[in-house]
Amino acid sequence: QAVVTQEPSVTVSPGGTVTLTCGSSTGTVTSGHYPYWFQQKPGQAPRTLIYDTTNKHSWTPARFSGSLLGGKAALTLSGAQPEDEAFYYCLLSYTGARGVFGGGTKLTVL
Amino acid sequence: QMQLVQSGSELKKPGASVKVYCKASGYKLISYVINWVRQAPGQGLEWMGRINTNTRNPTYAQGFTGRFVFSLDTSVSTAYLQISSLKAEDTAMYYCAGDAFDIWGQGTMVNVSS
């Protein structure tokens, strides 16, 4: 099974910009991996921010965006807010529509 | 409003079985996929697999074969996760999520302890 890697922890200043990445042990992440990004706050279920690399849901704040960057999937937060402090998980899809989550990134806004 | 509502928390002994339900509210489970996700205490998310409500064909992730079974009762718009021969390491929150992970259940905590 593929291993999906994320930064364990990242810190961003309020109002700052940060990019979280999601890599695959199988090689370059492409749109064919249909990258998802999820936000999870303590005691809550995850919620989807980005699907299929770049697409946002109606509830996704405009300051979040998804892309492919340097062979990885990326989640960029522009103008970090205190309420963005959370865990962020990516999910990649592999052969047979099997998904693999990354280990998650703890984002601190400080 | 579309929702996925899960069954309540469970406390089970090792070796027992548990069946968690995930009921769709506000829509029918037709031409849809339900994903199951596990989160052990203090740990990350694990994709367990999915079931197609049209074909009833389940797909299981590595590590979730054998003791884990996904099933459906489309007449009541409900998906089920059954875990048999429970082990302490099955202690986790179990989530169901919709096709594109656009909708998540609230989670069901399963505690396995003697």
pLDDT digit string (tens) for chain A, length 110 residues: 899 999 999 999 999 999 999 999 999 999 999 999 999 999 999 999 999 999 999 999 999 999 999 999 999 999 999 999 999 999 999 998 899 999 999 999 99
* Burial label, B57 (beta-carbon count in 10 A; 0-12, 13-18, 19+): exposed
Which residues in chain A have Cβ-Cβ distances shorter than 8 Å to B101? 36, 38, 46, 48, 51, 91
Residue A69 or B27, more confident: A69
Is A62 within 8 Å of A71 (Cβ atoms)? no
Residue B26 pLDDT greater than 90, yes or no: no
pLDDT confidence tier of residue B1, bands split at 50, 70 and 90: confident
Task: Determine the average pLDDT of the residues in B1-5.
Answer: 89
pLDDT (0 to 100) of residue B27: 79
- For residue B95, name the pLDDT band (cuts at 50, 70, 90): very high
Distance CA B77, CA B27 (A): 8
Yes or no, beta carbons of A101 and B46 under 8 Å apart: yes
What mean pLDDT do residues B81-103 have?
Answer: 95
| Interface probe, candidates A49, A98, A105, chain B, greatest B C-beta count within 10 A | A98
Q: Is A37 part of the contact surface with chain B (CB cutoff 8 Å)? A: no
Q: Is residue B61 within 8 angstroms of chain A, CB to CB?
A: yes
CB contact under 8 A, B47 and A98: yes
Closest CB to A1: pick one of B49, B62, B100.
B62
Q: What residues contact A23, with CB distance under 8 A and at least 6 apart?
A: A4, A5, A6, A29, A71, A72, A73
- Chain B residues with CB under 8 Å of A51 CB are 100-102
Residue A1, pLDDT score: 85
Distance from CA of A103 to the nearest CA of B (A): 6
pLDDT at B57: 92
Query: Average pLDDT for residues B22-27, to the nearest whole number?
Result: 89
Residues of A (1-30) whose Cβ lies below 8 Å from B: 1
Question: CA B66, CA B3: separation in Å to the nearest integer?
Answer: 29
Q: Give B28's pLDDT tier (boundaries 50, 70, 90).
A: confident
| pLDDT value of position A84 | 98
The answer to whether B61 contacts A38, with C-beta atoms less than 8 Å apart, is no
Residue in chain B nearest A56 by alpha carbon: B102
pLDDT at B29: 76
Q: In which band, very low, low, confident or very high, does the pLDDT at B87 lie, cut at 50, 70 and 90?
A: very high
Nearest residue in B to A59, CA atom: B102
Whether B59 and A36 lie within 8 Å, measured CB to CB:
no
